[in-house]
Amino acid sequence: MLAFIAYRLVVIAFTAIGGAVLVTLGALASLLYVQGWHDSIVSSLTDNTRVVPMIAGVLAVVGIVVQQGGGLRGLLAAADKADPGKAKGKPEPKPA
């Protein structure tokens, strides 16, 4: 029973972490492609070794939140439910 409960969380975590790593490394590779920026980026990354894992971690957390919320459509639906002006069954006040 625990495997069925944890399965979704494990899949979400692995896809979010994998996607975050791919986006981070792809962005760094495209930045390193520009010759004028190459040396400064390499020196910055060697001086600040925790920047790349921190960026990947932030992107992974964003990915987990989006996936847990049902994607962008689910997050927008949750935001609409939280806004009292957009709640169903209540008429919106007319401007005077």
Specify the residue for token string 């001086």.
Answer: 47
pLDDT for the residue 69 = 80
| Lowest-confidence pick of 16-25, 30-39, 58-67, 81-90 | 81-90
- More confident call, 7 vs 92: 7
Indicate the pTM of the whole model. Answer: 0.70
Nearest-angstrom CA–CA distance, 68 and 9: 9
Specify the residue for token string 């490394």.
Answer: 25
